[in-house]
Amino acid sequence: MSSTSEITDNNLKNCIAREDSNCIECELNGELICFVDKKFANKFSIGNILYRLLAIEIFIFSGLLIGHWWMLISYVSTVLITFLIIEPRLLCSHCPFYEREGKCLKCWALRGMPKLWRYRPGPINRTEKTLMLILGSFIDLFPFLGSIWGIVYFFMNIEGNIVLGVGILISTVLFLIVAGYFSKVLLGFACKKCANFSCAMNKVPKEVINKFLEKNPKMKNAWIKSGWKIEE
C-alpha cells in the first residue's frame, strides 16, 4: 500500500461507522456484531432495564425493612452516572460504533446515550479497564448484597414484616431469572462477537480482531502504537 493511500485510509472512519462498507462480501460478516439488529438490541435493552428496575425494587424493599436508604441512593446515582457519562468515556469511546455520525450512541447496547467524548481508535488502557471493572461489578453485583441483607433481616425480624419479606423474596427470584437471561445474552453471545475488542469481557478470537484491524488502518495503527502484536 502506498503512503498516500495509507494517509487516506487513516482518515477514513472504520467500516462499522461508514455507510459505504461492502459488508455483503466481507469475510467477517456474521463473525462480529457490526450492525444494529433491532430484535437483538431490544433483547439487550429489555434485559438491562429489567435488571436495573428489579435491583431498585430490591433496594426499596430492603430500605423499607431495615430503614436505610443509602443503598438505593448510591445504586441509582451510580447506574445513571455510569451509563450516561463514565461508561461512554472509559469503554464506548474506544468502540468502532462510537465513530458513527451523531450526538448519541447508535449501537446494539447503550443506544441513545449522549456522545460527550471524542472517539479513540486505540484500545482501552489498564486504568480505564480497571475503573470499568470496578464500576461494572458494583452496578451488577451490589443488588445481590441488598437482597441478602434484606432477606437475612426479614428472617430475623419476621413479625410485622411478612408483606415486605414476601416482596423482597419475590423480587429476588425475578431478579435471579433476569440475571440468568441477561448473562446468557451478554456472555453467551454478545461478548463473543462484540467489536469493542479491548473490553475486559470481550471474547472475540485474536485472528478475527486482526482481520478487522487489517480492514481499518486508523484503528490498526493506534492498536500497534499501544503494543498490540499483529503476528500470531
Site size with ligand SF4, rule: CB under 6 A: 22
In the complex with ligand SF4, the residue whose CB is nearer, 15 or 71, is: 15
Q: Hey, which residues does 104 pair with through a beta bridge?
A: 114
Query: If binding is defined by CB under 6 A, does position 79 make contact with ligand SF4?
Result: no
Look up residue 231 and give its amino acid: E
Query: If binding is defined by CB under 6 A, does position 223 make contact with ligand SF4?
Result: no
DSSP 161: -
C-alpha 101/C-alpha 92 separation (Å) is: 14
In the complex with ligand SF4, the residue whose CB is nearer, 69 or 101, is: 101
From the list 56-64, 89-97, 141-149, 176-184, the region that binds ligand SF4 by CB under 6 A is: 89-97
C-alpha 88/C-alpha 116 separation (Å) is: 8
Burial of 106 (C-beta count, 10 Å sphere; 0-12/13-18/19+): middle
What binding mask, one character per residue, do residues 182-221 give for ligand SF4 by CB under 6 A, x or -? --------------x---------------x--x------
Q: To 10 degrees, what angle do helices 126-156 and 70-81 make?
A: 150
* Phi (first) and psi of residue 32, to 5 degrees: -130, 160
DSSP 86: I
Give the number of other Cβ atoms within 10 Å of residue 174's Cβ.
15
Interacting residues of 160 by C-beta distance below 8 A, sequence separation 6+: none
In the complex with ligand SF4, the residue whose CB is nearer, 21 or 221, is: 21
Helix (H, G, I), strand (E, B) or coil at 66: helix
What binding mask, one character per residue, do residues 4-43 give for ligand SF4 by CB under 6 A, x or -? -----------xx----x-x--x-xx--x-x---------
Query: If binding is defined by CB under 6 A, does position 92 make contact with ligand SF4?
Result: yes
Query: If binding is defined by CB under 6 A, does position 45 make contact with ligand SF4?
Result: no
Question: Which one of 44, 75, 97, 182 is in contact with ligand SF4 (CB under 6 A)?
Answer: 97
Minimum separation from the CB atom of position 93 to ligand SF4 (A): 8
In the complex with ligand SF4, the residue whose CB is nearer, 181 or 211, is: 211
Minimum separation from the CB atom of position 106 to ligand SF4 (A): 8
Query: If binding is defined by CB under 6 A, does position 90 make contact with ligand SF4?
Result: no
CB 133 within 8 A of CB 200: yes
Sign of CA dihedral 151, 152, 155, 157: negative
Q: To 10 degrees, what angle do helices 126-156 and 38-66 make?
A: 50
- Contact residues for ligand SF4, defined by CB under 6 A: 15-16, 21, 23, 26, 28-29, 32, 34, 91-92, 95, 97-98, 105, 107-110, 196, 212, 215
